[in-house]
Copies of this chain bind each other. A is one copy, B any other.
């Protein structure tokens, strides 16, 4: 895990040194603020690891990595507006600390910064990087739109849910790795394999997210356990429960979701989930994606030691408890 920590340290330093203009301060102060809220820098680390996997030092992919991280932060700033989220990592969101207009505009300029960093790459890989980046950016917007659309729908199928999380969160992990592999000039087949690895890890990661929301240890989780149930969010757990429930269970579930509040709702829903065995269903799906990811990386013909940091990070993401 030495390589992992080294890359994270480099990224943290480079993000701290990003040099935004002083003026207009209402445009750039929000960026200085938001990028210091931290985070694990998972996505840009993946870009560097996707490069070093193929024997090229990860630092060669630093600008693509920064582009990925800046893009991710841009989406968070705009998503927080759309979700009316007051807090991000326990601190005020941009639109809350400043206002919605400043959130929109500082997000926009951050998106430009992302492309600007990507453009620093040499022209032998630049067109490919741009193609991956723009394709993925569109998909992330599509996923966010699907997520918003789901709120107003009575019925969402499991397939639609998986497609939504694939677009909203997983493709960016895949693309982060793919961009690293592109900088390293990996061949087409192996570039595809590392992309698929990232997407499958992303899907497993989101399953873990849905699971943690209800089954996390409250002392470690740091957020309200059962928050998705309180927010009536259509997660895998809820959608699968609705699919598998007997008519009686379905009626109880609907009643709990719509007539109970607070802990009462959470406890009742959890009881029904337990009857149906939802937790093990979700864990099975999570493990299926994780195994697919492992078989994707297994197909890549590089020394096993090149894979260890990436496999370590994947394992860490699968086992996280908060």
CA distance A124 to B21 in the complex (A): 29
CA distance A93 to B209 in the complex (A): 37
* CB pair B115 A145 closer than 8 Å: no
* CB pair B82 A101 closer than 8 Å: yes
Name the B residues within 8 Å of A21 (CB-CB): 142
User: Mask for A122-162, Cβ within 8 A of B = 1, else 0?
Assistant: 01101100110010011001101110110000000000000
CA distance A149 to B137 in the complex (A): 30
Residue of B nearest to A116 (CB): B134
Which of A55-63, A104-112, A305-313 makes up part of the contact surface?
A104-112
Name the B residues within 8 Å of A82 (CB-CB): 101, 104-105
A108-B111, A111-B111 known; A123 vs B127 contact (CB < 8 Å): yes
Q: Is A26 an interface residue (CB 8 A)?
A: yes
Name the B residues within 8 Å of A105 (CB-CB): 78, 82, 141, 144-145, 148
A residues contacting the other copy or chain, number (CB 8 A): 38
CA distance A131 to B108 in the complex (A): 17
Nearest-neighbour CB distance to chain B for A77, whole angstroms, equals 10
* CB pair A141 B26 closer than 8 Å: no
CA distance A146 to B82 in the complex (A): 24
Q: Is A27 an interface residue (CB 8 A)?
A: yes
Q: Is A73 an interface residue (CB 8 A)?
A: no
Residue of B nearest to A137 (CB): B112
Q: Is A296 an interface residue (CB 8 A)?
A: no
CA distance A214 to B77 in the complex (A): 39
Nearest-neighbour CB distance to chain B for A158, whole angstroms, equals 18
A126-B123, A145-B27 known; A81 vs B104 contact (CB < 8 Å): yes
Name the B residues within 8 Å of A145 (CB-CB): 24, 26-27, 102, 105
CA distance A26 to B112 in the complex (A): 24
Nearest-neighbour CB distance to chain B for A136, whole angstroms, equals 9
A104-B78, A108-B78, A149-B26 known; A119 vs B141 contact (CB < 8 Å): no
Name the B residues within 8 Å of A78 (CB-CB): 104-105, 108
Name the B residues within 8 Å of A144 (CB-CB): 105
* CB pair A119 B131 closer than 8 Å: yes
The 10 sampled A-B contact pairs (Cβ below 8 Å) are A24-B149, A26-B149, A27-B141, A81-B104, A104-B104, A105-B145, A108-B141, A109-B138, A112-B137, A123-B126
Closest 8 CB pairs of A and B: A27-B145, A123-B123, A109-B141, A119-B130, A116-B134, A24-B145, A82-B101, A112-B137
